Structure 1
């Protein structure tokens, strides 16, 4: 049987490459005659640049940027990279990964406070990408420690003062004034000649129940009260920023009725505007187009053709939950497998989605590595070994080659 192995990383325990290797090893123990096509994937989060480099090649340019935490002694400049790929038509594309500059892994647990962490380093990394002369810049979003709607990134690109309120995290954005946003319209105009794409890991809006603050700030260290305060602060900032751009900056929705929503509502409601603590919104202010990161990577590595030549595709991630079906790798793989008529199965550390939900997404089976507290502890102690063991059991169910 021909099997595509295409997982994402298993948050904090295995990279996508390590997860793919573990699944492959376990599968072959049960079905040694199966032919495996191993293709680790990523969404816009950690591993985005490295996954693309493995398939597209290109040149890595190293940069150092400001860390996301403002605390003195929490770390000096952190290393990051821009991947520059020359297209067959001569078009230069620069890829960067926001998690390298504002990722949760860069902030020690004791210092995690999304009211204070900043995307300033992402702005510095974007500036390095623009300096390559690329006509197309792709920013991967996901795995951030921030919740500042991209305000810090804007400060690094010259909007307001470099040490002003935009660079101090999301907590103070409710007090941002027009003076703090000086230069925003000019910055957007200066980028008109660059195709700016935002590759997001989730398709959530900036505000609301599943937005940046309510849906994700608690994962980054926020209390319930802080999450509510951040929601209000980001809402206020969004209106101020759109007003600073002027009435003609945001295109009207020609498909909407004459009573369409305001420009601010259109930008805050964009799928992916809430990714990486609202960094998607901040980039949309600059005229960026938001796309699915997992979909972009899947198509870049030729996943549709690989799935079309397979009998089954195996994907996975650390936790298979509601976020997985909103722009993550699992959803991208399932969508392409469904289009090709190939069953897709999910291996995850834990499965928190019901059968009705995952089957409606085109997934043929979902299998957890750990279901009890003891199994969870064992999985953290030996993530590769327990994942391989689960893949071996799944292969016995799915592969007729086990009987050969």
Structure 2
């Protein structure tokens, strides 16, 4: 039996590579003669760079950048010559990821994407004319203002203090934005986003994800208002491209992906960035469709399989392609909160959770490798033939 093992990371416990290898080990415990293909994946969030580098090779360029609270952390970007152009692959989470913060430090009111701008500046300085930025897993909600500050778009103090501070932004604070836009005018900027949400509204960045980054409901409302003010200021300072149908200026805050990474998508769209599905980008890069066509079973997974998993995440992306190839999809996850009717509608044949109770969650966190390996072994008992 040929099994393709292609999970995302199990956030906070295992990288995608670690998760894939652990699942494979558990499967082999029961079915050692099955032919396994291990393929770690990413939706643009943490692990994006590792997955792309593993698939494409290229040169990893090390840099030092700022984390969400301004501390220096190691980072890197991937540099490759592709079709006569120099392409850089950047993982935003290396600079603004939630995993860089201790639980008591998580506060999207003050965290900043400044380090992402430093990564982009380094890629440009290295000669990149095409930059693919993986967006996902951030601990920030500043609309990309910090990243713009690092690139020279305006006052670093006004732009780099987190989302809530943007409520006091003035037009003068973005005085350098047009110059930065011109600098990026010759650069193709691809935004490989983990979600397709807009910046504002009931399904926007603040309403949907700020709480998971440490915000109270009151702070989430403050962030929503501050980002709304930020978009107003930005729209006065620069003239974005015109919508071909309406003839009016595009409202970037309404674009799919503008709300990705706490609005970092919006900030990069001000520089000409274009949304693309993060998982779609990764699947194309690793040649997933070609690999899948030869398999009997697809085994995927992530830390928490919930409603967000069905909106641009790895599980939904691979399950859709598996359905086209008539390959059954099985999901293994730390926790599952989606019913069978919903999973079947997305072509998923089975779901299995490491933890189904609070006590089991604690056990899984204490031994993520052992518990996931044990689950994979039980799945193999059911599915290996």
**Normalised-by-shorter TM-score class:** over 0.9
Query: C-alpha distance in 2, partners of 1:161/1:240?
Result: 14
Which residue of structure 2 aligns with residue 235 of structure 1?
Answer: 228
Where does the alignment leave 5 or more consecutive residues of structure 2 unmatched? none
Establish whether residue 83 from structure 1 lines up as the match of residue 78 from structure 2.
yes
Q: Of the candidates 71, 78, 98, which is equivalent to residue 104 of structure 1?
A: 98
Which residue of structure 2 aligns with residue 149 of structure 1?
Answer: 143
Shift of residue 166 of structure 1? 0.8
Matches within 5 A, 1:268-347: 268-347=253-332
Query: C-alpha distance in 1, partners of 2:185/2:248?
Result: 25
Aligned residues: 385
Q: Deviations over 1:339-364 (max 9, x none)?
A: 22211111000011122222222212
Shift of residue 253 of structure 1? 4.6
Which residue of structure 2 aligns with residue 4 of structure 1?
Answer: 4
Establish whether residue 225 from structure 1 lines up as the match of residue 218 from structure 2.
yes
Shift of residue 262 of structure 1? 6.4
Shift of residue 252 of structure 1? 0.6
Which residue of structure 2 aligns with residue 119 of structure 1?
Answer: 113
Shift of residue 263 of structure 1? 3.0
1:59/1:378 CA distance change after superposition, 3 Å: same
Establish whether residue 251 from structure 1 lines up as the match of residue 242 from structure 2.
yes
Which residue of structure 2 aligns with residue 361 of structure 1?
Answer: 346
- Checking the alignment, whether the CA contact within 8 Å between 1:41 and 1:297 is kept in structure 2 is yes
Query: C-alpha distance in 1, partners of 2:346/2:126?
Result: 40
Q: Of the candidates 184, 193, 201, which is equivalent to residue 191 of structure 1?
A: 184
Which residue of structure 2 aligns with residue 263 of structure 1?
Answer: 250
Matches within 5 A, 1:166-177: 166-177=159-170
Q: Deviations over 1:252-297 (max 9, x none)?
A: 152xxx5x98633xx1222211111110111111111111111111
Q: How large is the RMSD of aligned CA atoms in angstroms?
A: 1.4
- Checking the alignment, whether the CA contact within 8 Å between 1:3 and 1:37 is kept in structure 2 is yes
Where does the alignment leave 5 or more consecutive residues of structure 1 unmatched? 71-75
Query: C-alpha distance in 2, partners of 1:296/1:205?
Result: 19
State the TM-score, normalized to the length of structure 1: 0.92
- Checking the alignment, whether the CA contact within 8 Å between 1:96 and 1:139 is kept in structure 2 is yes
Which residue of structure 2 aligns with residue 29 of structure 1?
Answer: 29
SS of residue in 2 equivalent to 1:185: helix
State the TM-score, normalized to the length of structure 2: 0.97
Query: C-alpha distance in 2, partners of 1:326/1:270?
Result: 15
- Checking the alignment, whether the CA contact within 8 Å between 1:242 and 1:285 is kept in structure 2 is no
Q: Deviations over 1:150-185 (max 9, x none)?
A: 00111111111222x111110021221111111212
Q: Of the candidates 107, 112, 126, which is equivalent to residue 132 of structure 1?
A: 126
Query: C-alpha distance in 1, partners of 2:338/2:253?
Result: 27
- Checking the alignment, whether the CA contact within 8 Å between 2:90 and 2:134 is kept in structure 1 is yes
- Checking the alignment, whether the CA contact within 8 Å between 1:313 and 1:337 is kept in structure 2 is yes
Query: C-alpha distance in 1, partners of 2:199/2:339?
Result: 26
- Checking the alignment, whether the CA contact within 8 Å between 1:202 and 1:328 is kept in structure 2 is yes
Query: C-alpha distance in 1, partners of 2:171/2:379?
Result: 57
Query: C-alpha distance in 1, partners of 2:241/2:141?
Result: 23
Which residue of structure 1 aligns with residue 61 of structure 2?
Answer: 61
- Checking the alignment, whether the CA contact within 8 Å between 2:153 and 2:178 is kept in structure 1 is no
Deviates more, 1:280-289 or 1:181-190: 181-190
Shift of residue 365 of structure 1? 1.4
Shift of residue 244 of structure 1? 1.3
SS of residue in 2 equivalent to 1:263: coil
